[in-house]
Structure 1
Amino acid sequence: MTRAALLVLDSVGVGGAPDAEAYGDGGADTLGHIAEACATGCADRAGLRAGPLRLPHLDALGLGAAAAAASGRVPPSLAARPAPGSAYGFGVERSAGKDTPSGHWELAGTPVAEPWGYFAPNDPCFPPELVRAICAEAGLPGILGDRHASGTLIVDDLGEESLRTGLPILYTSVDSVLQIAAHEEAFGLECLYALCGIARRLCDPLRIGRVIARPFVGRDAASFERTGNRRDFAMPPPPGTLLDRAAEAGRAVVSVGKISDIFAHRNTGTVLKGHGNDANLDHLVAAMRDLPDGGLAVANLVDFDSDYGHRRDVAGYAACLERFDRRLPELLAVLREGDLLVITADHGNDPTFRGTDHTREAVPILAHAPGGAGGALGRRGFADVGATLARHLGLRETASGRAWV
């Protein structure tokens, strides 16, 4: 029996989404624009990288070729052709939106049929009745924020007031999300999680995709930093995801990073969470060493998105990609004959683009099977990933998607 792993590089889009203009994202290209910036000498603030983007292992799997197929151009320093035996293509999302849950759910074979709800583009952004209901149930005299904001910037702006008053900071973005920031020690982590649980239930009728707990520590604006105890409270995915199919067949399932949160803890099996990409990649490598025949591992590496995409830090994003690429051989080394690894993304977050939000983009699809045949996969739907992994594992077919093997 074979095994499978799905690795989502959060926000590593490759441009070329046919409906990008409808989302205000025409011309967005996360990987392409990072590579172009690096070609002109992009250096990070810490001086840890400079010069052309160096991703030899991802490129050997077909990253440059996938980007060229999606956007019509090969990113600088990447190759138009992968190493022999690599299967590559690009994915286009059917679900409306450009957020994490819909991207992951569709990759797992279950596109979102109804559009998400969103908060008003003006500030204050939350319906007054929602704020009143949250405060009443949580016993809060009020909130701070109530606006669209970058998570790090709003903590810089309001963190000291939050510490002084004991009030949490509520904010949103163009995505379907309500985020709640509070001091991990002064407000209390469990109190923050309980508050998010209340907000989650009250946001359900509004079809808000996620409520996210954003704890931070520090004494003042100069020392505030977010901790690794983020938790996503997501709406449950549609029935019949790849994880559901694996669980109903009695297969081992391992969820790494924020996968368990994204899938609302339904059939997510063994949950492994680390703080940052390196820790979660450690978990994935260890899980693949021990995963039994027929097992499925699903992982998300979020640092690309949360630490660099939203902060519009081009050099930091480039360094993060290169750091992952240097470690990719560790993951490839633990794959067995008959295994299938698919590396992809859930949306874009072009750090050269306006604003601080996700961008509607196509995503790379890199499929690696030790000793397997390669080739161009062409344009695929996100759901084709779930359909392919289900067929590879001998599971019941997903409701959407068409397998390429």
Structure 2
Amino acid sequence: MGRFIVIVLDGFGMQAMRDATIARPGDETSSTLGSILHDFPDLKLPNLEALGLMNAFGRESACMKFSPDATFGKSELMHFGADTFQGHQEIMGTKPRKPEVHDFQQKIDAIEKTLKEHGHMVERLGKPGLEYLLVDRYCTVADNIDSDLGMAYNCTAPLDFLPFEQEMDIARLVRNVAVVNRVIAFGGTGNTIDDILKAEEVREGRYIGLLASATKSYDQGYECRHLGYGVDPSVQAPSILGRAGIPVSLFGKVADIVHNEQGKSVSWVDTAEVLDLTIEEMKTMDHGFICTNVQETDLAGHSQDAARYKRILEIADGKIGQIVDMLKADDVLVVMADHGNDPDIGHNKHTRENVPLLVHSPKRGVDLGLRKTLSDVGASVCDYFGVEAPENGTSFLSLIR
């Protein structure tokens, strides 16, 4: 038994899911890979091509063909919408629960009551009917206005004045009341509560929050934790493996959003560097689980920049080739995505797409079909190491060994 490595090309979808028209209207024509190939028909990704990228896509391009011995498939998203956080929880074996969509005004009374019952000092800011909370003088609790409105609440604090663990205590209480997709606790050093309050913005007349990029939280000392709706880390692959004494290393954005108390987590953004971290880990890890998130593909999709997306894919492809060259006989490599982010769709949100499932394993030439959930990967990881199964998913390990 060796290593099971998962590379998540964030936002690299293949085509709209069958339910996109109903579940996410506007995404029914989406195809992240299709749009990039339309704009750049000469795109060449030799390592992904060898792993079966075009097999999974279902058609060849001018410069990329089917790979006859590839082990490949696709996966639908079981989680609601198309979300990086929920996508990674699903990958790790969580059975998604459908969150509700609420502006903060609908929950402010209940959240304020809970915080006060637990001894926190709470003030209301804003104006009547459009308010948010200031807790313990330094932590704001408000709408997340940086992504899909109504899907998340932010807890934001200057960490020179309020320790991150104290902010997390506040965020956990908010999470106990909130039924939105995420409660996000974050902050940085070198800024003040005045910097945060100056970032106040109102969206659509009913969402009030602090624009994260304007709070100066990212400038230095940044810490962040995402608390998801219905997510129990104890039934996810990293926790199960950690309890069994199996090394777990998470690199990139996955380190910010997946619980890995007993393993190694390194947050990183740059594509070449995060994959180099993966390569360096492979040099010293003979046995264990690695998951790496390539975030810049998703950022290119949000920017609606197909040319940037192409460049990031080319960088990732080269590094994936190096990873393939380092694989040992018993190792398994999975290259996949968590949702789509079509750069030509006409909006800068994620898209609800089937995602590729490209596998390098001892057995070649296997069609894994269309999987119903990303959790099949987490289930396969646990099966590979002979530990208990996660909450969700069906292992495909027997098909690839």
Tell me the TM-score normalized by structure 2. Answer: 0.76
Q: Is the 8 A contact 1:143 1:168 kept in 2?
A: no
**What corresponds to 1:361 in structure 2?**
353
**C-alpha distance after superposition, 1:43-85 (max 9, x if no partner):** xxxxxxxxx32212111111122122xxxx54x4453412x54
Among 250, 256, 261, the alignment partner of 1:255 is: 250
**What corresponds to 2:90 in structure 1?**
106
Among 35, 43, 47, the alignment partner of 1:53 is: 43
Amino acid at match of 2:83: D
Q: 1:174 to 1:78 in 2, by over 3 A?
A: farther
The structure whose residues are more often strand, as a share, is 2
In 2, distance between residues paired with 1:214 and 1:308? 24
**What corresponds to 1:79 in structure 2?**
64
**C-alpha distance after superposition, 1:256-299 (max 9, x if no partner):** 123243223445x1222334222221211111121133x11122
In 1, distance between residues paired with 2:226 and 2:318? 32
Among 97, 112, 125, the alignment partner of 1:142 is: 125
- Confirm or deny that 1:377 pairs with 2:377: no
Deviation at 1:343, TM superposition (A): 0.9
Q: Secondary structure at the match of 2:177?
A: helix
1:144-293 aligned within 5 A: 171-172=144-145, 173-174=147-148, 176-179=151-154, 187-188=158-159, 191=162, 193=164, 195=167, 198-212=170-184, 213=186, 229=222, 231-235=224-228, 236-237=231-232, 239-267=234-262, 269-293=263-287
Q: 1:338 to 1:31 in 2, by over 3 A?
A: same
Among 355, 358, 382, the alignment partner of 1:390 is: 382
Percent identical among aligned pairs is: 27
Q: Is the 8 A contact 2:160 2:190 kept in 1?
A: no
In 1, distance between residues paired with 2:351 and 2:18? 12
In 2, distance between residues paired with 1:324 and 1:105? 23
In 2, distance between residues paired with 1:131 and 1:241? 28
**What corresponds to 2:296 in structure 1?**
303
**What corresponds to 1:312 in structure 2?**
304
Q: 1:230 to 1:126 in 2, by over 3 A?
A: farther
In 2, distance between residues paired with 1:190 and 1:143? 22
**What corresponds to 2:9 in structure 1?**
9
For structure 1, the residue ranges without an aligned partner over 5 or more in a row are 40-51, 148-165
**C-alpha distance after superposition, 1:65-116 (max 9, x if no partner):** 2122xxxx54x4453412x54211100122323212321222222221x212
Q: Secondary structure at the match of 1:362?
A: strand
**What corresponds to 2:101 in structure 1?**
118
In 2, distance between residues paired with 1:332 and 1:210? 35
Amino acid at match of 1:28: S
Amino acid at match of 2:278: L
In 2, distance between residues paired with 1:199 and 1:66? 40
**C-alpha distance after superposition, 1:133-156 (max 9, x if no partner):** 799857677379x99xxxxxxxxx
In 2, distance between residues paired with 1:301 and 1:125? 35
Q: Is the 8 A contact 1:7 1:298 kept in 2?
A: yes
In 1, distance between residues paired with 2:340 and 2:357? 14
Among 348, 364, 372, the alignment partner of 2:340 is: 348
Q: 1:126 to 1:230 in 2, by over 3 A?
A: farther
In 1, distance between residues paired with 2:91 and 2:180? 20
In 2, distance between residues paired with 1:115 and 1:325? 34
Among 56, 72, 83, the alignment partner of 1:66 is: 56
In 1, distance between residues paired with 2:152 and 2:49? 34
Deviation at 1:12, TM superposition (A): 0.9
**What corresponds to 1:329 in structure 2?**
321
Amino acid at match of 1:375: V
Amino acid at match of 1:378: G
In 2, distance between residues paired with 1:198 and 1:2? 41
Amino acid at match of 1:13: G
Farther-moved stretch of structure 1 (101-110 vs 336-345): 101-110
Amino acid at match of 1:384: D
Aligned length in residues = 356
**What corresponds to 1:157 in structure 2?**
none
Farther-moved stretch of structure 1 (253-262 vs 283-292): 253-262
In 2, distance between residues paired with 1:350 and 1:134? 40
Q: Secondary structure at the match of 1:358?
A: coil
Amino acid at match of 1:251: I
In 2, distance between residues paired with 1:372 and 1:246? 24
Q: Is the 8 A contact 2:79 2:90 kept in 1?
A: yes
Q: 1:372 to 1:350 in 2, by over 3 A?
A: same
